[in-house]
Amino acid sequence: MILITGSTGLIGSSTAEFFLNKNYKVIGIDNDLRSYFFGKNASNKWKEKRLKKNSLYRHYKIDIRDEKKIQKLFKKFKQRIQAIIHTAAQPSHDWAAKEPLTDFHVNATGTLNLLENFRKYCPDASFVFTSTNKVYGDTPNFLPLIEKKKRFELSRNHEFYKDGINESMSIDYTTHSIFGASKASADLLVQEYGRYFNLKTVCFRGGCLTGENHSGAQLHGFLSFLIKSIINKKKYYIFGYKGKQVRDNIHSFDVANAFYHFIKKPQIGGKVYNLGGGRDNSCSILEAIEQIEDISGQKSSYEIQKKNRIGDHLWWITDNKSFKRDYPKWRIKINLKSSLKSMINQEINRK
């Protein structure tokens, strides 16, 4: 049995589907806080309805901050839980600055609540945490970057991160954003429960996570919301950096598959892995717009605003070597072009 928090979100729902397809029983925890963060149009209720059609899935509308309800659930299933996959979060830079207390309590306190119940009731299970590359703050922006016509790129003279950024990058002395700080707090707690209590925990520091299961909103879900805007002929606003900021994109299926590989062969001691699409699946916002226009046959309307998001990355490409070294059978199966095609087709069919 797999317990998944945020089970109707992008990664949560994709992970639930992944394990259900392998005939695992899945407990889903989700109270659709996303609709509170980003409005009704960003609600994940449609995925909850879809998941409930599977007899192996059981849904619980619980807030991960609720100590009593989380404890009750862990007590009920403690003998059967093989893994906890924690994907629930407040995921937006911008929203976090509006309500820092809510952001911190969801991201950090909620994680601590889950970890403590994991330690007490099912310590032989694995705890998989969906962290973020934002724990590195804006440190990547101080790499030697050069500006090209449509993207920023790492200088050819810089060899160390030429294949992407690995886990050696410091998370200190940097501007994280309020969101990045709350996620870093959760990340450190997950590591510490692994190291201090000798538990099987892992942090996956994700790059740009994407896929058809994303309910994209302006404040979260870059590719999903961009596709929505272009297909529905709405203006898209780019926050700074001339639209040349680079993201590496990984499909939610490939993220779920990474979780699966870890759970099959878990390690004790608080492992940390960067996880993203890598150089082959990277693009700037301008390049993404160009590819979506080419695939969909529709023209975009966008405006580049001068002010960038605080702590936002100019350039992020993930080096996946660490995870691939420990789990050599894992590989990316869905590339950026395939992701875009699927997401575009889904949005067209919704019209």
Place of tokens 């995925």: 47
Report the topology of domain 2-350: Rossmann fold (3.40.50)
Give the pLDDT score at 309. 84
Query: What are the domain boundaries of the chain?
Result: 2-350
350 has a pLDDT exceeding 90 = no
Residue-by-residue DSSP string for 192-220: HHHHHTT-EEEEEEESEEE-TT---BTTB
* Confidence (pLDDT) at 220: 67
Task: Take residue 80 and report the two structure tokens written for it.
Answer: 């059967």
Beta strands in 123-212 (DSSP E): 126-132, 145-147, 152-154, 200-206, 208-210
Question: Concatenated DSSP letters for 243-297?
Answer: G--EEEEEEHHHHHHHHHHHHHS--SS-EEEEE---GGGEEEHHHHHHHHHHHH-
Q: What is the pTM of this model?
A: 0.95
């501007």: which residue's tokens? 175
Alpha-carbon gap, residue 226 to 217, rounded angstroms: 9
The distance from CA 253 to its chain's CA centroid, rounded to whole angstroms, is 12
CA distance 18 to 12: 10
CA distance 149 to 33: 39
pLDDT computed for residue 216 by the predictor: 65
Predicted local distance difference test score (pLDDT) of residue 351: 64
Q: For residue 344, what are the CA distances in angstroms to 45, 147, 301, 337, 351?
A: 21, 29, 16, 11, 11
Q: How far, in Å, CA of 285 to CA of 240, rounded?
A: 11
| 135-175 pLDDT, tens digit each | 999 999 999 999 999 999 999 888 899 999 999 999 999 99
Read out DSSP for 291-347? HHHHHH-----EEEESPPPTT--SB--B--HHHHHH-TT----S-HHHHHHHHHHHH
In angstroms, rounded to a whole number, what is the distance separating the alpha carbons of residues 27 and 69? 14
Residue 275 is predicted with a pLDDT of: 98
Nearest to 344 by CA among 216, 236, 258: 216
